[in-house]
Amino acid sequence: MSGKRVYVAGTCDTKGQELFYVRGLIAAHGLDAVVVDLSTRDSPGGDIPAREVAAHHPGGAEAVFTGDRGTAVAAMATAFEKFVASRSDLAGLIGLGGSGNTALVTQAMRALPVGVPKLMVSTVASGNVAPYVGPSDIAMLYSVTDVAGLNRISRVVLGNAAHAMAGMVLGATPAAADDKPAVGLTMFGVTTPCVTQVTELLGAAYDCLVFHATGTGGQSMEKLADSGLLAGVIDVTTTEVADYLCGGTLACTEDRFGAIIRTGLPYVGSCGALDMVNFGALATVPEIFRSRTLYVHNPFVTLMRTTAEENARIGSWIGEKLNLMAGPVRFLLPEGGVSLIDAPGKPFYDPEADAALFAALEATVLPTARRKLLRVPFALNDPGFAAALVAQFYQTLAET
């Protein structure tokens, strides 16, 4: 791959032998590979010295070389993320190490676009890797032994990692010539009929990518938006905000909608499943919520109905985010109910709570020619609402 290089990242002061071993195996495939030193103290250095990386920190290299391991590692992680973002020749990124190196390298990996090969060989890869992987496509490989020298085990594991990275780079899957533009959609079980109808209406013209609104699902969709891989978003199911503000288990982060704000992508959203907050099995629901309206969705998921007060907070929070979007925006309010179980005779039917949600949105959103809040006289899962979402999506595309 002319002009492209594989970056092999880690701390040369403790992992130098292993890093150069991996570099050599990747180079044997005919690829250009370089070792990037992320040490936070004096070391023999890699092909790219630690001070060169540290200089990318907003506070300069001295913000990294503090002499205190905790602050130095955190600062180097920031510097490495900035360093990686500045590279135009990166074909893939592989890192190796323990918990410190894993936190350091994966921060930069998460900032890379989806599709760029990323592989982390780590001593912590057999545990909970969600904080390291986040919404990105990072491959985690358990090192089995510590990354502390070359032995009969580490040679094989690191060798497999090196060959896997080379394979990902050399075997990169090209985009099909007839690929349709991609649209991101968010879905929950209680919004499935709506999303299914939308994908049927759009499927001939768009590649519909559906994300389960489980916290990470919304982050993954927005990661694709930040990576330039989406033509637009139909965010039917914004329920992660309810969990974020009300203490549920499937929460988004403060950056929910951030990718839309940053990119200006055409955006159509709605209130899907904002009538609920998610917990685990019934016995796991916090004591403070035991007197609330609860619904056992399955043996492992218990839903709690949001109140009018909570919905007012949710509506205001979403409205403030919508106001920050510079691209074309439509946000639709389903007057007939926001989920399958928010309808007459269903367990979460509460017109007063829905009214508080809609009123808060209408009080917060600042309408413009390209930012519109629209009431729709259907329940969210009715065919008429799906048709309205699609019609508004095409309108936002016309405004780009």
What is the edge-to-edge ordering of all strands in the sheet holding 232-235? 207-212, 182-187, 232-235, 267-270, 329-334, 371-376
- Of 260, 240, 391, which Cα lies nearest the Cα of 321? 260
Q: Which fold has domain 5-170?
A: Rossmann fold (3.40.50)
What pLDDT, on the 0 to 100 scale, is given for residue 220? Answer: 95
Tokens 């180097």 label which residue? 76
5-170 shares its CATH topology with 182-398: yes
**What are 367's two structure tokens?**
């309408």
Question: What does the pLDDT read at residue 122?
Answer: 96
Angle separating helix axes 383-398 and 192-202, nearest 10 degrees? 50
pLDDT tens digits along 310-323? 999 999 999 999 99
Span 118-146, average pLDDT = 95
Q: Quick one: pLDDT at residue 41?
A: 83
Total number of residues shown for the chain: 400
Mean pLDDT of 130-139: 94
Enumerate residues 6+ apart whose C-beta is below 8 A from 342. 275, 348, 349, 350, 354, 379
User: How would you classify the pairing of strands 329-334 and 371-376?
Assistant: parallel
pLDDT band at 193 (very low <50, low <70, confident <90, very high): very high
Q: Domain 182-398 - what CATH class?
A: alpha beta
Classify residue 162 by its DSSP letter: H
Residues 6+ apart with CB under 8 A from 95: 8, 9, 10, 101, 102, 104, 105, 106, 109, 119, 120, 121, 122
**Exposed, middle or buried, 152 (CB in 10 Å: 0-12/13-18/19+)?**
exposed
Is the pLDDT at 1 greater than 90, yes or no?
no
Name the pLDDT band for 52 (thresholds 50, 70, 90): very high
Q: What is the pTM of this model?
A: 0.81
Q: How far is Cα 112 from Cα 104, in angstroms, rounded to an integer?
A: 14
Domain map of the chain by residue range? 5-170, 182-398
Percentage above 90 pLDDT, the chain: 92
Asked if 208 contacts 201 with a C-beta cutoff of 8 angstroms, the reply is no
- Contact yes or no for 309/280 (Cβ under 8 A): no
* DSSP string over 300-364: TEEEEEPPHHHHHHHHHHHHHHHHT--S-EEEEEETT-SSTTSSTTSTT--HHHHHHHHHHHHHH
For residue 14, give Cα distances in angstroms to 54, 98, 207, 370, 393.
17, 11, 46, 54, 53
pLDDT (tens digit, 9 = 90+) per residue, 248-257? 999 999 999 9
Using one digit for the tens of pLDDT, what is the confidence trace for 261-270?
Answer: 999 999 999 9
